[in-house]
Amino acid sequence: MPQTMNLATVDDEYGVLNRTVIYRGLSNDNGIIYVTQRFTRNYKNLKANPKACFTFYWPKLMVPAEGAEPCVWQVRGLGATATELAESELDALWSEEVLATRIRALVFPCGEPVEYEELKAKHDECLRQHLSSGRPLERPDTYTAFKFQPERWDFLKAGVGAIADRVQYRRQDNGQWLAMHVAT
């Protein structure tokens, strides 16, 4: 799996907004996990309208069984519903975060104008205090995560000079998935 995905949400000010975010893995029920801060625009967007789409993209992936020709792979989650994770799940995610991510969650005001030198000084002071005390960094109240459960999965493989292969899995009313090839 890639480490990043493109996430699209809806915003009252700009309409559809997309951004590249870090993919954090799968939940126990196979939801796609994404971590954010509670003061960010994307958090507010998902709380106001929990519908979202996400895309994983591999620009040049070699498929040895089909020869040496590179192909593009794309996986989209369509009509996904975002659900904020429980505090216990957030604690588990926080415990897996690398130090740089923990410090960023504590001192960086995501999306706000900043003076770089001031921000760097806050970062360095937080790091210094952590290293000198040896105490773990506590999860801030602003740290949160969502899981996304799509209604449709869309898999696309396209090669140079080849017909694209596109398969969709559509969730049915009974919870089962219906798979089909679709034209691109």
Q: What is the pLDDT of residues 97-118, one digit of tens each?
A: 989 888 988 887 777 788 889 8
pTM for this structure? 0.85
pLDDT for residue 88? 92
- Rounded CA-CA distance 157/145 in Å is 30
Minimal CA–CA distance to 36: which of 104, 99, 98?
A: 104
Percent of the chain residues past pLDDT 90, beyond the cut: 64
Minimal CA–CA distance to 111: which of 177, 19, 22?
A: 19
- Domain parsing of the chain, residue ranges: 4-181
Single-letter amino acid, residue 117: E
Spatial neighbors of 50 by CB under 8 A, at least 6 apart, are 81, 82, 83
Q: What is the pLDDT of residues 129-138, one digit of tens each?
A: 889 998 889 9
H-helix segments, the chain = 41-48, 87-96, 99-107, 116-133
Examine the pLDDT at 60 and tell me if it is beyond 80.
no
- Rounded CA-CA distance 168/68 in Å is 26
Tell me: domain 4-181, CATH 2.30.110.10, correct?
A: yes
pLDDT for residue 107? 87
* Position with higher pLDDT, 60 vs 23: 23
Q: What is the pLDDT of residues 62-92, one digit of tens each?
A: 565 655 577 888 999 999 999 999 999 999 9
Minimal CA–CA distance to 153: which of 44, 41, 49, 56?
A: 56
Q: Rounded mean pLDDT of 120-133?
A: 91
